[in-house]
Amino acid sequence: MLKLKVQNFCLDSSINSGQFFRYNKIGDFYYIVLIDRVVKLKLEDGYLIIYSSNYNNLEDLIVEFFDLNTDYNKINKKLIEIDSNLKYIVDSCINFKILKMEPFETLVSYVISQNNSVNNIKNIVNKLSINYGEKILFENNEYYLFPTFDSIKDITLEELKNLKLGFRSNYVYELLNNIKTNKLDLDYIYSLNTIDAMNYLILNKGIGKKVASCVLLFAYKRYDVFPIDTWVKKIMGELFNISNEKKIEEFIKENYKEYSGIIIQYLFNYKRNN
DNA sequence: CCCCAGGTCGTCA
DNA sequence: TGACGACATGGG
């Protein structure tokens, strides 16, 4: 068991925020499939109580995944300074973190996410993992890692359709092919600035601005990008009477700059939970 | 039977 | 450029 002192951290809202799809809550504990292992954890009296199928380098992994070294108090203060009318939104997301997810998993998951519901995304990603991911035994139960690129690089279109990806089957199929032919290199993205990274991702069929934004925000920690989805459009219409996507983009970018992704994530959470 | 979900693409003006 | 329907599937 690993016990980790944490401050200003809400495990519930951070996991259950539509960012990450590989988790289950049983009793007080969350069971999450994190890269190469199963992690079971709960928050108790300011400590994370953590069990895992693999304790190697576990603390670093947890700190990185939950973004525990970023000073959100400072960021939140800035957000409120920019627009104090949104204080109640920021307050409602207090101790919420933007997760740092694995790029390949994030990319595939978010291609699947389009025009889909969080529950159904979870289902499909789980099915994909059960069929093609490595099996991990933990507490006498079977868990499945998200497939590596190698384990699904030769998947057929029909297999994808059988997993009920629907029209997204073609997108995932082509995406894997692009990685295979090195037309898409996920490591290359680290070297690109945000705008170039966005344009690079959008070259792939099935990846538009929204999916690319999610990938850059959730897997590459680019806080200056922000996904605009149906929930964000709704709340921006209600709060600011802005419904046009371009106008939303200009407004957020102009006001929130390098923290755009964080305020948008707060707005998304608030709208989805209320 | 309808509408909608962390959208994107192709087409048509 | 901008608007608009199609696209698979599951759930309300």
φ, ψ (nearest 5 deg) of residue A214: -60, -40
Q: Which bases along strand C come within 7 Å of a protein CB atom? A: 2-3, 7-11
Å from the A265 CA to the C3 C1':
28
Q: Reply yes or no on whether the pLDDT at A263 is more than 90.
A: yes
Q: Which two tokens stand for residue A112?
A: 């699947």
Q: Which bases along strand B come within 7 Å of a protein CB atom? A: 4-10
Q: How many other β-carbons are positioned within 10 Å of the β-carbon of residue A255?
A: 13
Mean pLDDT across the stretch A224-233? Answer: 93
Confidence of residue A209 (pLDDT cuts 50, 70, 90): very high
Q: What whole-number distance in Å separates Cα of residue A76 and Cα of residue A74?
A: 6
Å from the A201 CA to the B12 C1':
27
Å from the A244 CA to the C3 C1':
12
Mean pLDDT across the stretch A71-82? Answer: 98
Å from the A170 CA to the B10 C1':
15
Would the Cβ of A231 be found within 7 angstroms of any atom in strand B? yes
Mean pLDDT across the stretch A34-40? Answer: 98
**Cα A215 vs. chain centroid, distance in angstroms?**
7
φ, ψ (nearest 5 deg) of residue A67: 55, 40
Nearest Cα to A217, choosing from A237, A232, A205, A236? A232
Strand B, CB < 7 A, residues 173-202 of A: 202
Mean pLDDT across the stretch A210-225? Answer: 98
Å from the A18 CA to the B6 C1':
7
pTM, whole model, 2 decimals?
A: 0.97
What average pLDDT does chain A have?
A: 97
Would the Cβ of A17 be found within 7 angstroms of any atom in strand B? yes
Would the Cβ of A147 be found within 7 angstroms of any atom in strand B? no
Would the Cβ of A117 be found within 7 angstroms of any atom in strand B? yes
Q: Reply yes or no on whether the pLDDT at A274 is more than 90.
A: no
Residue A243 pLDDT: 86
Q: Reply yes or no on whether the pLDDT at A28 is more than 90.
A: yes
Å from the A134 CA to the C3 C1':
45
